[in-house]
Amino acid sequence: MEDITLLGEVDENGNLMITNKSMMKKALSTIKGKKVVMTISLISKDPSKEMIGYFFKVVVPAYQAIFKECGDVLTLEQTELRLRQISPRTIKEKKWGGVNVGYNVEVLESVYSLNSKQMIEHIDYLITLAATEFSYVIESPIKKG
């Protein structure tokens, strides 16, 4: 089984509230009787709803158009996956193995697991890439005037 990332929140009583319980139950049902290690990472500051909206309503459709011009017709979901595959902010390298044998695995982070700073870096990288590599200007999230 590959690692899964679940988003959640700790309530005022200290209980962990998982956002996608069905994904968790499905994953756990495949490893009954096995030992697991759980790592909890604190998200320093959630990206704003506006930032997430800008990413999915402006950046992803812009890249969908860019890829279409290059000959790749992708759905919005496929486009978002491709953006995660090319952005250094969403690629996390994990090293596995022993003393003499080891290998590296690239794991893609969900944009929902990024904190505000990381999301800004992800968006900035993609805006810069669009301009420099595809001569495509993506509308700025900062309103002028």
The answer to whether the CB of 32 falls within 8 A of the CB of 96 is no
Q: Spell out the domain ranges in the chain.
A: 1-40, 44-145
- Lookup: tokens for 97: 């193995």
* Alpha helices in 1-145, H assignment, sequence order: 21-29, 49-54, 60-69, 76-86, 116-134
Q: Is the pTM of this model over 0.75?
A: no
pLDDT of residue 39: 76
- The residue among 45 and 60 whose pLDDT is bigger is 60
Least confident of 18-32, 60-74, 109-123, 129-143: 18-32
